[in-house]
Amino acid sequence: MGLSAIQAAFARARAENRPALMPFWTLGYPDGETSLRVIEAIARAGADMIELGVPFSDPLADGPVIQHASQTALEHGITVRQCIELARALRRRGVSIPLFAMGYLNPLLAFGEEAYVEAWREAGADGFIVPDLPPEESDTLGRACAARDLALVQFTAPTSTEARIALAAARATGFIYVVSVTGVTGARDRLAAGLREYVERVKANAQGKPVVVGFGVSKPEHVREIGQFADGVISASALIRAAGEAPDPAQAAYEFVKALRG
């Protein structure tokens, strides 16, 4: 697994002339077992990779939908170690596509960077997404990931300068996460104006690394449009809103991701 599995997932999507699809789900939401069934359904529906949200009390990049999911999971007692065990259970249950642990820096530092990376590796994770870790401060975590052939994703934003984009691209492994809007996560009716030009700026600095667009992606037509100029797409809040409180969250998640995949 690891970087080679991520590269293979992007290559498969490229061969099928579409963007790689990476849905997000919060581990432990609405409870541990349901989150496992939802993530299994997301994989069955055709996701190429999955972002596993590690709940945190101050998720500064996330809007109200993901905040609510995180808070619900925390109120049910979810911990980082339990999240790691849920990832291990997904592998035991046959989920074989790449998995990214998406969590914030405070719990990671409390766990210990080296220990955190190793524990997730043992559980079957392929990479890490840490929204509040600046690239300048990512050396230690980056070395721990590189030693295990795991990805450490870096972010760009619409406000990023050329120098900042170049730095994120140089430090990124796995892919570069393009935040499509100035703001937090959340489903939006339309894509941001100028998104294509912004992504093309990132791709010019990407050193051949995949460029993936997230924040605000909620509809199949968003996926199709983004697929014309980016390598992948992330959908989070819209999926959680559609499935989290449905009578059968796993079935609702399956149908939502199947529609996104087209």
Cβ neighbors of 92 (< 8 A, separation 6 or more) are: none
Tokens encoding 81: 């170690």
Ramachandran sector of residue 22 (left: φ over 0; alpha: ψ -120 to 50; beta: rest): beta
Sorted by where each begins, the domain ranges of the chain are 3-261
Is the separation of the CB atoms in 117 and 127 below 8 Å? no
Mean pLDDT for the chain?
93
Tokens encoding 80: 């980082």
Could you give the 3-state DSSP secondary structure of residue 61? coil
DSSP per residue over 83-127, as a string? HHHHHHHHHHTT--S-EEEE--HHHHHHH-HHHHHHHHHHHT--E
Mind listing the pLDDT tens digit for each residue in 120-163?
999 999 999 999 999 999 999 999 999 999 999 999 988 899 99
The pLDDT, as a whole number, for residue 181 is: 65
The pLDDT, as a whole number, for residue 184 is: 44
Mind listing the pLDDT tens digit for each residue in 64-76?
899 999 999 999 9
| Residue 84 confidence (pLDDT) above 80 | yes
Its CATH architecture, for the domain 3-261, is Alpha-Beta Barrel (3.20)
pLDDT-based confidence at 60, cuts 50/70/90?
A: confident
Q: Say how many Å lie between the first and final Cα of the chain, rounded.
A: 26
Largest Cα–Cα distance in the chain?
48
Torsion angle in degrees (nearest 10) through CA of 208, 13, 90, 65? 80
Tokens encoding 53: 């949200």
Decide if 231 is catalytic.
no
Decide if 62 is catalytic.
yes
The pLDDT, as a whole number, for residue 59 is: 78
pTM listed for this prediction = 0.94
DSSP-derived pairing of the beta strands 99-102 and 50-53: parallel
* 30: preceding bond cis by omega (within 30 degrees): yes
Mind listing the pLDDT tens digit for each residue in 184-223?
444 445 666 688 999 999 999 999 999 999 877 888 998 9
The pLDDT, as a whole number, for residue 185 is: 47
The pLDDT, as a whole number, for residue 4 is: 97
Catalytic entry in 51, 126, 225, 231: 51
pLDDT-based confidence at 63, cuts 50/70/90?
A: confident
Separation between Cα atoms, residue 161 and residue 85, nearest integer Å = 39
| Residue 109 confidence (pLDDT) above 50 | yes
The pLDDT, as a whole number, for residue 113 is: 97
Mind listing the pLDDT tens digit for each residue in 217-243?
888 998 999 999 999 999 999 999 999
Neighbours of 51 (CB within 10 A): 23
The pLDDT, as a whole number, for residue 188 is: 47
Tokens encoding 183: 């703001």
